[in-house]
Amino acid sequence: MAADKVDPIHQFHINKLIPIEIGGYDLSFTNSALFMVATVVVAAAFLFLTTSSRSLVPGRLQSISEMAYEFVGNMLRDAAGTQGMKFFPFVFSLFMFVLVANLLGLFPYFFTVTSHIIVTFGLAALVIGTVVVYGFMKHGLGFLKLFVPHGVPVFLLPLVVLIEVISFVSRPVSLSVRLFANMLAGHITLKVFSGFVVSLSALGAVGVAGSVLPLAMAVALTALELLVAFLQAYVFAVLTCMYLNDALHPGH
Amino acid sequence: MFVTSAFAQESAPAADTSHAATEGDTHSGTSVPAEAHGTFPPFDPATFPSQLLWLAITFGLFYLFLKRVVMPRVGGIIDVRNDRITQDLDQAAKLKGEADAAVAAYEQELAEAKTNANAIGQKANDVAKAEAETARKKVEAALDQKLGEAEARIASIKANAMKEVGTIAEDTASAIVEALVGGKASKAEIAAAVKSVAG
């Protein structure tokens, strides 16, 4: 038990709350699933309740909801144009989900949904899947022009196309690993410094005095993690917008 | 807090020795496959199906809820506000136009009033001048009349005087003739002579 408390990896353990197994697959309702539900409920309830008065002059909370809405809206319009606005609900959901999941993860004892590669990869695959499916639906084989940039000399073309294909294929990987690694690293660091505080303060008066340093570090890191939580949600949403732009305008 | 952590520290060695046992215990209790033992949790493939399933369920519901309920509402709020702002700006522009028109009308009226005032003043001036003129003319006429009467009187007096002068001349002439000639000249001759001299 004591080892668990100081073990920085312990927070990423997945515990089954309601075991479910269908067709040999373990589909249990775990703490991860619980926090996905919490994320969705918190985000949806916030957006729903703060806008329920529909005030013409918004209060603070309604302003936050409207700001988030317009923020993502402008981001998508800038990246993908007005045609891209059909993906607005998708990008807005992604942004809110990642942001709230990141922020919830900052609470002590809370599980961070986005610190698991499979979750971030699931979201990234959803984005790239949307891009590929919509790209082929809208442009047919013309979508493949995405891999053939304009104005490249013919003898360089095979190399450029190869690079473009690799860069496209690596997108879901980079998109998911970026978010996952940021959350994972941040939470491990936080846990390590907090662990120092606990271990040091157990050494008596000198230890308690010494633990001020890692405590200050943990506080500063919490602030940094708050920034990272927002920043990673933003980066995820911005990159999604840019990839969707490729689906809309593959010629560019 | 210090108490519990100190306690944890003290009991750490004991826990360390039983660590492997308890870990094995919990793992067997949660039926994690044997090969997953000790795997870094985020890379444990055994948890993937469950996480993907629940991600799909929660994110799917979240997407639908936002698309159907939240976004139309927030979008509506923002649209209504933008409409209202446009409307208010239009209203303000309209009111400003009205105010400008009112100012223009007022200035025009002021200018008209000024012109009218000038005209009235001019008219009054003219009337006063005309009245003064008539009064002057009347006075002048009266004076002319009086002058004429006076002149007529002077003339009549003069004529009378002249008449008297003729008689006096005749008398004087007859007296002179009597004294010089010694005879009496006839009155008719003398009168004729005086008249020819007086011409």
B85 touching A, CB under 8 A? Answer: no
Q: Which residues of A touch B6 (CB under 8 A)?
A: 202
Output the CA–CA distances (angstroms, integers) from residue B29 to A23, B24, B36, B46, in the order listed: 21, 8, 14, 15
The rounded mean pLDDT for chain A is 90
Kindly give, in sequence order, each residue whose CB lies less than 8 Å from that of residue A131, ignoring residues fewer than 6 positions away: A243, A244, A246, A247
When pLDDT is averaged across residues B140-154 and rounded to a whole number, the result is 93
**Residue B4: pLDDT above 50?**
no
Of B54 and A251, the one with more pLDDT: B54
CA dihedral B16→B18→B21→B22, nearest 10 degrees, is: -80
B9 touching A, CB under 8 A? Answer: yes
**Residue A252: pLDDT above 80?**
no
Q: Which residues of A touch B65 (CB under 8 A)?
A: 44, 48
pLDDT score for B198: 66
**Residue B153: pLDDT above 50?**
yes
**Residue B25: pLDDT above 80?**
no
Q: What is the DSSP string of A88-154?
A: HHHHHHHHHHHHHHHHHHTSTT---GGGSHHHHHHHHHHHHHHHHHHHHHHHGGGGGGGGS-TT--G
Of A121 and B188, the one with more pLDDT: A121
Least confident of A2-6, B37-41, B179-183: A2-6
Least confident of A146-150, A155-159, A185-189, B137-141: A146-150
Least confident of A9-18, A114-123, B149-158: A9-18
The model's pLDDT over B121-143, given as tens digits with 9 standing for 90+, comes to: 999 999 999 999 999 999 999 99
Q: Which residues of A touch B2 (CB under 8 A)?
A: 201-202, 208
**Residue B192: pLDDT above 70?**
yes
A positions 61-80 inside 8 Å of B (CB): 62, 65-66, 69-70
Of A152 and B112, the one with more pLDDT: B112
Q: Left if phi > 0, otherwise alpha if psi is -120 to 50, otherwise beta: which for B128? A: alpha
**Residue A130: pLDDT above 90?**
yes
Are B41 and A116 in contact (CB < 8 Å)? Answer: yes
B positions 14-43 inside 8 Å of A (CB): 15-16, 19, 22, 30-31, 40-43
pLDDT score for B146: 94
Are B51 and A26 in contact (CB < 8 Å)? Answer: no
Identify the band that residue B199 occupies on the pLDDT scale cut at 50, 70 and 90: low
Identify the band that residue B5 occupies on the pLDDT scale cut at 50, 70 and 90: very low
The model's pLDDT over A178-229, given as tens digits with 9 standing for 90+, comes to: 999 999 999 999 999 988 888 888 888 888 888 889 999 999 999 999 999 9
Which value does ipTM take for this structure? 0.90
The model's pLDDT over B58-114, given as tens digits with 9 standing for 90+, comes to: 999 999 999 999 999 999 999 999 999 999 999 999 999 999 999 999 999 999 999
When pLDDT is averaged across residues B35-47 and rounded to a whole number, the result is 73
Are A51 and B80 in contact (CB < 8 Å)? Answer: no
Distance CA A111, CA A107 (A): 8
Identify the band that residue B10 occupies on the pLDDT scale cut at 50, 70 and 90: very low
Of A132 and B175, the one with more pLDDT: A132
Asked if residue A34 lies in contact with residue A111, where contact means CB atoms within 8 angstroms, the answer is yes
Identify the band that residue B1 occupies on the pLDDT scale cut at 50, 70 and 90: very low
Residue A60's Cβ-count burial label (10 Å; 0-12, 13-18, 19+) is exposed
**In chain A, what percentage of residues exceed pLDDT 90?**
61
Identify the band that residue A45 occupies on the pLDDT scale cut at 50, 70 and 90: very high
Distance CA A122, CA A114 (A): 10
Q: In the Cβ-directed half-sphere of B105, how many Cα atoms lie within 13 Å? A: 6
The rounded mean pLDDT for chain B is 80
Which residue among B41, B65, B70 sits closest to A14, beta carbon to beta carbon?
A: B41
**Residue B8: pLDDT above 80?**
no
**Residue A58: pLDDT above 90?**
no
Asked if residue B52 lies in contact with residue A122, where contact means CB atoms within 8 angstroms, the answer is yes
When pLDDT is averaged across residues B154-169 and rounded to a whole number, the result is 85
pLDDT score for A15: 86
**Residue B18: pLDDT above 50?**
no
Which residue among A66, A89, A202 sits closest to B9, beta carbon to beta carbon?
A: A202
Asked if residue B41 lies in contact with residue A12, where contact means CB atoms within 8 angstroms, the answer is yes
Which residue among B12, B42, B54 sits closest to A12, beta carbon to beta carbon?
A: B42
When pLDDT is averaged across residues B148-152 and rounded to a whole number, the result is 92
Kindly give, in sequence order, each residue whose CB lies less than 8 Å from that of residue B187, ignoring residues fewer than 6 positions away: B170, B174
**Residue A38: pLDDT above 90?**
yes
**Residue A12: pLDDT above 90?**
no
pLDDT score for B62: 96
